[in-house]
Amino acid sequence: MFSKATTRAALLALLLQPIQAQFSNWADDQINTTICIWTEPRAALIRNKIYLDGGNINWLPGLKDGSNGPVVSSGNFQGILLTYNLSYAFTPETNVTGLLLQDKLSKALGGLGQTNGDSPNYVDGALLANDDEFFFYGGLPLGDRLQYAAPAKDDLLVYQVYQYGAEKPLFEPGFHRLDNLPNSVSQFVTYGGAANAPSENLAWYFSGSTSQSGGAIFQNFNDTTRPSRIANSLITLDMTTQGAEKWSNKSLPSTIKGRASSELVWVPVGAKGILVALGGVVFPEYANATRESQDAKASESQSPAFMRAIDVYDVAGNKWYTQPTKDGPGTRARGCAVVATASDSSSFNIYYYGGYDGIDPTKPFHDDVWVLSLPSFTWTQINNGTESHARAGHKCFTPYPDQMMIIGGYTPASGTTLKCLEDGPIVMFNLTSGEWMDSYDPTVYGDYGVPEKVQAVIGGTASGGATATKPAASGWADPDLGKVFDTSYDQKKITTYWPYPAIESAHPPAQPSPTPPSKSGGLPSWVGPVLGVILGLIALTCIIVLFCLWRRRKNIGNRSSTNTSDEAGHRILSWIRGQPATNKAPTETTTEVTPGSPEMREYVYPSFTPSNSASVPPEHHEMADTQLVELPDTTRVELQDTGLSPMDIRERYSHWFPGRTDDGLPSPTRSSLQSTSARNTVSPIKDRNSDSHTAISSALPSPPLPEAGENDEKSLLPTPEPATTPAAEKKAESTDESARSPEGHEFVVSPPTAEEKPGDDYLTVKKTSSSSSPTTRKSVFKEQHDDT
Ligand SMILES: *[C@@H]1O[C@H](CO)[C@@H](O)[C@H](O)[C@H]1NC(C)=O
Ligand SMILES: *[C@@H]1O[C@H](CO)[C@@H](O)[C@H](O)[C@H]1NC(C)=O
Ligand SMILES: *[C@@H]1O[C@H](CO)[C@@H](O)[C@H](O)[C@H]1NC(C)=O
Ligand SMILES: *[C@@H]1O[C@H](CO)[C@@H](O)[C@H](O)[C@H]1NC(C)=O
Ligand SMILES: *[C@@H]1O[C@H](CO)[C@@H](O)[C@H](O)[C@H]1NC(C)=O
Ligand SMILES: *[C@@H]1O[C@H](CO)[C@@H](O)[C@H](O)[C@H]1NC(C)=O
Ligand SMILES: *[C@@H]1O[C@H](CO)[C@@H](O)[C@H](O)[C@H]1NC(C)=O
Ligand SMILES: *[C@@H]1O[C@H](CO)[C@@H](O)[C@H](O)[C@H]1NC(C)=O
């Protein structure tokens, strides 16, 4: 008992380490950073890019001397989304963290480089998506009344990547805020299972947990804001009409038990597909501040059933079924699942990877891969994995039919040091061979083949021909479910976006750094035109001056010299014309140094909408061009002109931001500072906001977040605290006992984000505390006043 408590205390103390934002500030002797663990991001694959929002990232700093610094959790106040562009390959040598960081988006008003007062970072929850857009739904925001108002029940953010349906002349990729969730649907839910069916323009959120009252829930919860009640609902998002998406909330029948952290997959069976819910638990440890299950016994007895009796929802028939299986993996929470369809649709193989029992985060996690094959409803373990490679809280996708890409996750909290994810933040699995792969290459892919171990159970060959066409042991629990399987899904409805064109370099393009690179190849695309204009003006001025001089000379001097001076003028003109080549070098150098400067940032991110184009790092010639110019054109071609008028669009998005009264379209000048200070009128709070605004935006120079702002960083450095100081331990222990103290919520569900140091007033939402206790945050921004 004692040792368990100590381990837990050590673990908690470790997770509560001081803040050090890898997005913006590094240690003095740090040279690089790697994503160590990434707990429960919300993620979606849109065509050829995976968007990853939120979650808790712990970073592993690489230091000058070749060692690694202690893992740090930085928080994500800027609301940064990472992305993985599937055109990029990686090998074990690749800096995958760099690939994830190279094309960031920010939910903050004003985009990257802005501090974030409006969009708290979420852990858990989902991105509900089709092939064009995704909605941020569910999850646990970081509650922080001092920084921002808590999200409203119906206050949703959507990111539209492409437009579809009726033509929207004002369409621009970007974030839009909607507050038209119907009353019956709340976004205050987490730990649900999510599935997207782009071919049906549908997405779902299955069960999960809400607070007792159905009110707001937070990462740093207390008894009121704790996701402690199982939600017996299936939320459906219908994205048929862009801009008029419909939400609905259907109660689960009593035979379908609600649960936390199930995996929901959509399988192309029947008229509109079916949903299959796998795993999940009741009373998970992460729903308790102490990270101990509220009722471990109940969890142990009820949770295994979620893998044994599989719940299936027929979308077209709006009906739930439960089909028993046997010899499955047992209890699993926070794993991930994908579906692979045999070439002849004779079997649908659902792969479930990783996770753990949801009760004890210190025991080894699972690294095994299981296949639930439908319609035979048989389980096969196709890879046992290793303990060191195991993870939970990750997301997975099938970029190609034969490959599973697994992103993020965390490791068991055993021992006193946090173990990073083995093989980095992204790992690949070959669905056909059932083996792990050590690299991803967009040019290497194949058809999906049913793994041999599965063939052994269901019959047939790699390309299909399964002989088991109904549940092997028991037959159909409900013959109607058999009928659903008799209807085949129209596979033609499913659009695929692979193969992805490969990007030459296996490494992300060099990030602009404070030291100017010598090659001119990395020039931002705007340099050309700007240089042209400047040089043009210079040339013009010279010509005018020369012309005047020439006229004067001509007027004053004797006529016989006209010819020669004409020639001279000519020569001078051609010298001017030739000048750009030689003149360019110094100009280039100065412009290349500027990426870190505020002016440059303004130039590169001129548009308000933190859209793709706006976040393109300046050195991407082609990308900036195509995104800005081609995208609206190409998409418009496919659209009918039954569209929404610009007024309609404005109408629809007029609720962009709470408090906005003018037209719904964002203005470039509006900053998060304004909106937060408008809400919080207490003056110390306002000061803190403006401080943080200045500090973070200056420490956050657009694309290569970590690199720049080194000067600012010194002040941002936390006072390093050994992970397990007796004080920290004691604190953790004492809170263990009196878990309901006001500070109790520091022990958050999952690795906490920044500022969760005991005693830091950032989280302990005390009204008076902001000025009373000297905090990291206070000292952090001391130097920033110079900037304003
Ligand atoms: C990976 O690339 C990112 C972005 O360029 C950089 O910040 C990070 O330090 C790199 N990490 C390693 C281990 O090189
Ligand atoms: C990152 O830093 C560590 C520690 O100095 C070093 O071992 C590693 O090689 C670095 N990685 C890269 C890609 O530079
Ligand atoms: C992926 O990267 C390539 C090369 O940088 C770019 O052309 C393409 O537009 C990117 N895709 C997305 C969806 O951003
Ligand atoms: C769905 O509706 C039920 C019953 O009205 C409600 O209790 C539940 O909280 C709702 N679920 C969500 C996620 O809004
Ligand atoms: C729980 O936290 C919320 C907001 O963080 C706060 O409004 C509420 O008073 C707290 N409740 C208790 C019982 O501490
Ligand atoms: C979990 O939280 C609930 C509510 O706060 C509390 O009643 C229960 O005792 C907690 N369980 C454990 C094991 O800490
Ligand atoms: C599978 O892995 C588990 C845990 O890592 C181990 O106990 C078991 O022996 C392994 N089974 C096989 C067949 O390798
Ligand atoms: C996956 O495994 C199969 C069978 O071993 C192989 O043919 C295929 O090339 C592999 N796919 C990739 C992407 O390596």
Q: How do residues 439-448 score in pLDDT, each as one tens digit?
A: 999 999 999 9
Q: Are 170 and 632 in contact (CB under 8 A)?
A: no
pLDDT at residue number 155: 85
Question: What gap in Å lies between CA 709 and CA 696, rounded to an integer?
Answer: 9
Confidence check: pLDDT of 336 > 70: yes
pLDDT at residue number 713: 34
Confidence check: pLDDT of 354 > 60: yes
CA 107 to chain CA centroid, nearest Å: 10
Q: Which of 429, 401, 374, 406 minimizes the C-alpha distance to 494? A: 401
Choose one of 51, 87, 161, 635 to mutate for the ligand 3 pocket test, by most ligand atoms within 8 angstroms of C-beta. 87
Question: What gap in Å lies between CA 129 and CA 52, rounded to an integer?
Answer: 12
pLDDT at residue number 60: 96
| CA nearest ligand 1 atom 4, residue | 98
Judging by DSSP bridges, how do beta strands 319-324 and 133-137 pair with one another? unpaired
Q: Are 66 and 29 in contact (CB under 8 A)?
A: no
Q: Are 109 and 697 in contact (CB under 8 A)?
A: no
Choose one of 156, 205, 249 to mutate for the ligand 4 pocket test, by most ligand atoms within 8 angstroms of C-beta. 249
Q: Is 507 in the pocket of ligand 2 (CB under 6 A)?
A: no
Question: What gap in Å lies between CA 443 and CA 440, rounded to an integer?
Answer: 9
Q: Which of 324, 212, 190, 202 minimizes the C-alpha distance to 262? A: 190
744 phi, psi to nearest 5 deg: -55, -30
Choose one of 221, 228, 290 to mutate for the ligand 6 pocket test, by most ligand atoms within 8 angstroms of C-beta. 290
- The pLDDT tens digits for 359-392 are 999 999 999 999 999 999 999 999 999 999 999 9
Element (H, E) at 422: none
Question: What gap in Å lies between CA 436 and CA 491, rounded to an integer?
Answer: 28
| CA nearest ligand 4 atom 10, residue | 185
Q: Which residue has the higher pLDDT, 149 or 283?
A: 283
What is the CA(585)–ligand 5 centre distance, in A? Answer: 60
Q: Which residues contact 403 (CB under 8 A, 6 or more apart)?
A: 428, 429, 430, 431, 437, 440, 445
Q: Domain 253-440+450-508: give its CATH code.
A: 2.120.10
SS3 109: coil
| CA nearest ligand 4 atom 13, residue | 186
**Phi/psi zone of residue 528: left (φ > 0), alpha (ψ -120 to 50 degrees), beta?**
alpha
Q: How would residue 24 be classed by pLDDT, with cut points 50, 70 and 90? A: low
Q: Are 617 and 111 in contact (CB under 8 A)?
A: no
Q: Best-predicted range by mean pLDDT among 306-310, 471-475, 543-547? A: 306-310
pLDDT at residue number 589: 31
Ligand 3 surroundings by CB, under 6 angstroms: 48-49, 85, 87, 503, 623
Least trusted range by pLDDT, from 114-123, 363-372, 423-432, 556-565:
556-565
Atom of ligand 5 nearest to the CA of 218: 5
Q: Which residues are paired to 352 by β-bridges? A: 337, 370
Instruction: State the chain's mean pLDDT as an integer.
Output: 72
Q: Are 235 and 258 in contact (CB under 8 A)?
A: no
Q: Are 446 and 476 in contact (CB under 8 A)?
A: no
What is the CA(498)–ligand 2 centre distance, in A? Answer: 33
Confidence check: pLDDT of 204 > 60: yes
Confidence check: pLDDT of 475 > 80: yes
Question: What gap in Å lies between CA 739 and CA 121, rounded to an integer?
Answer: 24
Please report, for residues 291, 366, 376, 751, the alpha-carbon distance to residue 334 in angstroms, rounded to integers and kept in the order given: 15, 10, 25, 14
- The pLDDT tens digits for 402-421 are 999 999 999 999 988 999 99
Maximum CA extent, the chain: 113
Q: Which of 388, 287, 370, 284 minimizes the C-alpha distance to 327? A: 370
